[in-house]
Amino acid sequence: MKKPDKAFSVKQAEDSSGFLLWQVTTLWQRGIKKALDQIDLTHPQFVVLASLLWLSKQQQSVTQIDLSLHSKIDPMTTSTIIRTLERKELIKRREHDTDTRAKAVGLTSYGTKTTRQAVKIIEKFDAQFFESLGNRSKSFNSSLLTLLKSSS
């Protein structure tokens, strides 16, 4: 048996939380991509659309910065995604009601229909993917929220 490499603080790769998170994330993203291919959306496009639908139910106007903060996608990438979604006629931008420097972002009727369809696809995929967690899903989500809050 070979000696463990001193470069690592863990004895087995499975003892590394970061490596495990990487592996699970990679599998999950691969499945998400396959699920969204059927409606010609990328995962980041879906996240922006779903965030826009969600935030539109919570507030009067949604800006690009609102979407960036909610989704944790950096502002420049959010802007690029928004331009692509505009070309696909899924969203529209207009003057913000109160902030002259900002643009409000909204779903088109086609965008709303597509987003609702995508949410159903992703919720079904997520239910299947995370099914093995069983009644531990709330604890898993709580742990993820802890990591999100400590990284903000």
* Whole-angstrom distance, CA of residue 119 vs CA of residue 140: 21
Angle at 92 between CA 90 and CA 94, to 5 degrees: 170
The two most distant CA atoms of the chain are separated, in Å, by: 68
Are the CB atoms for 81 and 23 separated by under 8 Å?
no
CA dihedral of residues 65, 68, 70, 71 (deg, nearest 10): 170
Per-residue pLDDT tens, the chain, 152 aa: give them: 666 667 877 777 787 888 999 999 999 999 999 999 999 999 999 999 999 999 999 998 999 999 999 999 999 999 999 999 999 999 999 877 777 777 899 999 999 999 999 999 999 999 999 999 999 999 999 999 999 999 87
Q: What is the pLDDT of residue 146?
A: 93
* Whole-angstrom distance, CA of residue 33 vs CA of residue 41: 8
Are the CB atoms for 39 and 114 separated by under 8 Å?
yes
DSSP per-residue string spanning 42-67: -HHHHHHHHHHHHHHHH-S--BHHHH
Q: What phi-psi label fits residue 14: left (phi over 0), alpha (psi between -120 and 50 degrees) or beta? A: alpha
Judge if pTM exceeds 0.85. yes
